[in-house]
Amino acid sequence: MPANRTRQARYAKRRQRRMAAVEHDLLPAQWAALTAAWGGCAYCGASDRPLQRDCVLPISRGGRYTLDNIAPACGSCNASKCNDEVTGWLRRKRLDERAFLERHVRIQAELAVRFADHGPAGPAAVLSENDPN
C-alpha cells in the first residue's frame, strides 16, 4: 500500500505542475453552455451522473481548459479515457467516433460564435496568432 500511495502522490504532484504551467480560460458560463449543449456525457450520453471537465486533447499532451478543448464527461468515461487521445479511446471503447467528432465540431462552432467576445477560440485562432502571414 505505501508504494501505491507514493505513486498517487507523484501523479498528483505531476498533474498539479502541468495544470499550473498552462493558462486555462474556460469561464463558468462557457462550462454551463457546454453541459447544456451536450445534455450529458459527451462520450456515452449518460445524463444521470455528475459531469466533469474532460480535455479532448489531454493536458499531458499539450491541451488546456478552453472552450474548444473541453467536453463534459461522466466520471467513468473521464477516468477510462485518462490521458488517451480521444479518437483512439473511442475506437477501443467501441463508441461512435464519427458522431462524437461531428457533434463536437458543431457545438464548438456554435459556442465560439456565442462567446466570441471572450477572446480567440478554436484552432484557427491559435494558428492565426502563430502565423506571420
Alpha carbons within 13 angstroms on the beta-carbon side of residue 99 total 10
* Of the listed ranges 59-73, 76-90, 101-115, the one predicted with least confidence: 59-73
Is the pLDDT assigned to residue 132 strictly greater than 50? no
Whether residue 24 contacts residue 63, with contact meaning beta carbons closer than 8 Å, is answered with no
Q: What is the pTM of this model?
A: 0.72
